[in-house]
């Protein structure tokens, strides 16, 4: 579901392919609802090893992130698994991982899981752009350096899977509110903001070099 709230675009999961199609490169939105983390090791398990992701993220969100989580061993509390006496979890820091690390996995990962929104850092390349176009998804960036602010938007860690991979690599299932800003960098038409800007910047660079060269032609 996509709403305008206090002048901001807010997406609440689950989100449909039709709603995703309304987003375009450069758009900014905030996220409410369910989001899971997963980076290299998670993608490799799903794509290379053929294991099924232990949580349903169809029409939902995967964030390339290796969060820092505080574990509360409180015997009186209920855990993310819902059983008394087990640990509960608190998000301390959740910053984006460089998304290019997942480029070789992303098409098959989206095909297998049905995720609609990818969140990460930096750009991705042709394989992810093709996945977004063919499967109806978007890639977004969350501004780097805001990991603590991101953690404040995590209302609850509802579950965790594959902790054997280690804390940063595990699948952390979160309920978030007002998570963002998220900037669309690849849309469901396959447009790639970073790649388009590279072409533009390269052209502007050549123009500036030519202009500067005319002004300093006398220098040897």
Q: Which residues contact 31 (CB under 8 A, 6 or more apart)?
A: 10, 11, 12, 13, 61, 117, 119, 176, 178, 179, 180, 182
Query: Whole-angstrom Cα distance, residue 5 to residue 23?
Result: 16
Task: Report CA dihedral (133, 183, 66, 190) to the nearest 10 degrees.
Answer: 10
139 included as an active-site residue: no
CA distances from 204 to 82, 89, 193, 197, 201 (A): 56, 49, 16, 10, 5
CB 55 within 8 A of CB 81: no
Q: Which of 24, 43, 64, 217 is catalytic?
A: 43
**Angle formed at CA 191 by CA 190 and CA 194, multiple of 5 degrees:** 125
Active site residues: 43
């Amino acid at each position: 579901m996509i709403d305008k709230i206090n002048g901001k675009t807010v997406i609440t999961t689950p989100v449909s392919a039709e709603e995703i199609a309304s987003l375009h490169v450069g758009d900014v939105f905030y996220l409410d609802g369910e989001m899971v983390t997963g980076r290299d090791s998670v993608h490799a398990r799903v794509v290379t090893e053929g294991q099924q992701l232990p949580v349903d993220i169809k029409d939902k969100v995967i964030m390339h992130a290796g969060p820092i989580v505080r574990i509360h061993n409180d015997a009186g509390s209920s855990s993310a698994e819902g059983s008394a006496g087990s640990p509960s979890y608190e998000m301390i820091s959740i910053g984006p991982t460089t998304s290019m690390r997942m480029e070789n996995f992303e098409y098959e990962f989206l095909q297998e899981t049905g995720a609609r929104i990818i969140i990460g850092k930096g750009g991705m390349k042709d394989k992810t752009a093709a996945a977004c176009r063919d499967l109806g998804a978007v890639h977004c960036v969350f501004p780097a350096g805001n990991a603590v602010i991101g953690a404040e938007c995590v209302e609850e860690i509802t579950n965790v899977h594959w902790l054997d991979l280690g804390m940063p690599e595990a699948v952390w299932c979160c309920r978030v509110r007002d998570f963002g800003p998220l900037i669309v960098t690849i849309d469901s038409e396959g447009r790639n903001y970073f790649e388009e800007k590279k072409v533009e910047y390269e052209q502007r660079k050549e123009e500036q070099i030519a202009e500067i060269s005319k002004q300093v032609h006398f220098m040897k």
